Amino acid sequence: MGKAKKPIPRGRNSGEADENRRRLTRTLTSSEAAEIKAEWEKAEKARSLLARVLAIEAGLIPPPWLKLKEEPEKDAGQENGPKRRVRAKEASVMRVLRELYPPDGRVSADTTTTEVHARVRIEFEKRGTSSAPSYETDRRALGRRDR
């Protein structure tokens, strides 16, 4: 048959090993478990903060103190939405309006569009241009009609 197994020799430290094994396998009390859990949570929070700092330094995420601008700041006079296209005839009306109503071509609110249209048409006839602008083109140039 087979050989008999030899017993494991126990040295003078075998008692310490048994004591350590017993300490490792004992059941924790509720207060000890709470202390270990609190320490673990502190360590987890520290790991989380450290990971965030490293991600900020690596440029993977923006720092919290940096305010990201999603939309550029708008000027006080700028309307909402995209900038509309100004047609050639409307641009020529705007030039005439700047001459008739200096310095910026703004007409007072009490001046009617019909009065402005008559003055613009006369100015275009003086210049000898091909055709006077329409009433609607004048309204667009004055900002009194949406496109």
- Note the pLDDT tens digit of each residue in 1-20: 566 666 665 655 566 777 77
- CA 146/CA 136 separation, integer angstroms: 10
Query: Can you list the positions of beta strands (E) in the chain?
Result: none
Query: Is the model's pLDDT at 81 over the cut of 80?
Result: no
92, burial (CB in 10 Å: exposed 0-12, middle 13-18, buried 19+):
middle
The pTM assigned to this predicted structure is 0.43
Q: Is 76 helix (H, G, I), strand (E, B) or coil?
A: coil
What is the percent of the chain with per-residue pLDDT over 70, rounded to a whole number?
76
Question: Cβ contacts of residue 68 below 8 Å, gap of 6+?
Answer: 62
- Specify the DSSP class assigned to residue 59: T
pLDDT computed for residue 108 by the predictor:
83
